Amino acid sequence: MVNSDYLKNLNKAQKEAVMCLDGPLLIVAGAGSGKTKVLTARIANIIKKKKAFPNQILAVTFTNKAAKEMQTRVSNMLGSAAVGLSWLGTFHSICAKLLRKHAPAANLNSNFTIIDTDDQIRLIKNICKAENIDIKQLAPRYILAIIDKWKNKGFYPNEVKINSKNIYEKNILPIYKIYQQKLIDLNSCDFGDLILHAVKILENHIDIRQIYSKNFKYILVDEYQDTNFIQSKWLNLLTEKNKNICCVGDDDQSIYSWRGAEIKNFLEFDQVYENTKVIRLEQNYRSTQNILSVASNLISNNQNRVGKTLKTTMEEGDLVSLHCFKNGKDEAVGISDEIEKHKKKYSLNNIAILVRAIFQTREFEERFLKIGMPYRILGGTKFYERAEIKDCIAYLRIIHQSKDDLAFERIVNNPKRAIGDSTIKSIHEYSNQNSFNLEDSSRKMLNENLIKPKAKIGLNSFLNMLIKWRSELNLQKISHIKLLQVVLDESGYSAALKNKKDLENENRLENIKELLSAMKEFDNLESFLEHVSLATSLDQDWDGEKVNMMTMHGSKGLEFDFVFLPGWEEGLFPHQKSIEEKGQNGLEEERRLAYVGITRAKKKAVISFSMNRFYQGDWIDSMASRFVDELPEKYIEKNSSFDEDKEDVEDFEFNQDFDIEDNERSPGWIRYQKRIK
Q: Is 36 a catalytic residue?
A: yes
φ, ψ dihedrals at 269, nearest 5°:
-55, -45
The catalytically annotated residue of 286, 356, 508, 600 is 600
Name the catalytic one among 116, 119, 223, 331: 223
Query: Which runs of E-coded beta strand occur in 10-70?
Result: 25-29, 57-61
Q: In the annotation, is 243 catalytic?
A: no
Distance CA 241, CA 263 (A): 25
Torsion angles phi and psi, residue 327, rounded to 5: -155, 180
d(CA 576, CA 625): 11
Contacts of residue 32, Cβ cutoff 8 Å, sequence gap at least 6: 284, 285, 286, 287, 559, 599
Determine the Cα–Cα distance for residues 599 and 473; give it in Å rounded to an integer: 50
Q: Which residue is catalytic, options 15, 16, 36, 97?
A: 36
Q: How far is the first Cα of the chain from the last one, in angstroms, to the nearest whole number?
A: 65
H-helix or E-strand spanning residue 561: strand 560-565
- Residues 191, 532: Cα–Cα separation, whole Å: 12
| Angstrom distance (rounded) from CA 265 to CA 260 | 12
Q: How many CB atoms lie within 10 A of CB 50?
A: 7
The catalytically annotated residue of 119, 222, 388, 653 is 222
Strands (E), 369-516: 375-377
Q: At what angle do helices 35-48 and 64-78 cross, to 10 degrees?
A: 50
Spatial distance between the Cα atoms of 376 and 335, rounded to a whole number of angstroms: 16
Total residues found in the chain within this entry: 677
Amino acid at site 492: G
CA distance 318 to 327: 26
Instruction: Burial-class residue 468 by CB neighbours within 10 Å (0-12, 13-18, 19+).
Output: middle
State how far the Cα of 521 lies from the Cα of 529, in Å rounded to an integer: 12
- Specify whether the backbone of 571 is left (phi greater than 0), alpha (psi in -120 to 50) or beta: left
3-state secondary structure of 354: strand
Other CB atoms closer than 10 Å to residue 267's CB: what's the count? 16
What DSSP string runs through 242-280? ---EEEEE-GGG---GGGT--THHHHTHHHHSTT-EEEE
653 is catalytic: no
Catalytic residue from among 56, 113, 253, 361? 253
To the query of whether residue 253 is one of the catalytic residues in this protein, the response is yes
Question: Is 386 in the active site?
Answer: no
**35 carries an active-site annotation:** yes
Q: What is the dihedral of CA 264, 266, 270, 272, to 10 degrees?
A: 60
Residue 139 near residue 213 (C-beta atoms within 8 A): no
- Of 577, 573, 611, 608, nearest in space to 594 by CA: 573
Catalogue the active-site residues: 35-36, 222-223, 253, 600
